[in-house]
């Protein structure tokens, strides 16, 4: 905890110098194209900048920018729908095939000991972006959870997204 000699304890400080890239970036609230962040990603035309690992016919695979764990991927249909009930059968099939492919790439590149795979449909179920359905593929390791979330309300990510992207990209290009 940070303490000042002249007053009460101050807030805890977590040094995160990599955040300056985000803080210093232009965040234009007025943009052309779709308002949905997931719909915009493939339209940016820069997969590396968007962290898109693979673009299929009906879905794409992307690194989660706010991951639960290193290697946290999402499989997202291009169709802007908010429920699995609204996803057509060919898209559902491609989503599940890409989840399987994502597991294989993650196993080959990172060697996880398990996976959390699923869908949070609706805000009440924990969906951060509730208006566009997506599937999470989260690699897990024994001991990957430590005291930081419980005591400090902080998740420690040991690898930068750029490095994770570089480690996984090759597996999707084969």
Catalytic center residues: 134
SS3 at position 56 = coil
E strand or H helix at 138, and its extent? strand 135-140
Query: How far is residue 93's CA from residue 96's CA, in Å, rounded to a whole number?
Result: 5
Query: How far is residue 165's CA from residue 62's CA, in Å, rounded to a whole number?
Result: 9
Q: Are 76 and 62 in contact (CB under 8 A)?
A: yes
Q: Are 80 and 36 in contact (CB under 8 A)?
A: yes
Query: Which of 55, 99, 42 shows the shortest CA–CA distance to 75?
Result: 99
Alpha-carbon distances, residue 123 vs 7, 48, 130, 131, 164 (angstroms): 41, 29, 6, 9, 28
């Amino acid at each position: 905890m940070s303490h000042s000699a002249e007053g009460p304890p101050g807030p805890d400080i977590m040094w995160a110098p990599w955040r300056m890239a985000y803080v210093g970036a232009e965040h234009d609230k007025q943009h052309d194209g779709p308002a949905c962040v997931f719909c915009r990603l493939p339209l940016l035309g820069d997969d590396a900048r968007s962290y898109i690992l693979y673009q299929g016919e009906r879905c794409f695979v992307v690194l989660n920018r706010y991951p639960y764990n290193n290697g946290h991927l999402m499989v997202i249909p291009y169709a802007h729908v908010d429920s699995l009930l609204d996803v057509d059968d060919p898209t559902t099939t491609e989503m599940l095939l890409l989840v399987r492919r994502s597991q294989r790439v993650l196993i080959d590149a990172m060697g996880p000991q398990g996976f959390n795979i699923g869908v949070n449909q609706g805000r009440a179920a924990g969906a951060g972006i509730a208006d566009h359905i997506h599937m999470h593929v989260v690699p897990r390791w024994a001991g990957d959870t430590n005291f930081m979330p419980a005591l400090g309300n902080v998740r420690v990510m040991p690898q930068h997204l750029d490095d994770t992207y570089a480690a996984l990209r090759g597996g999707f290009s084969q």
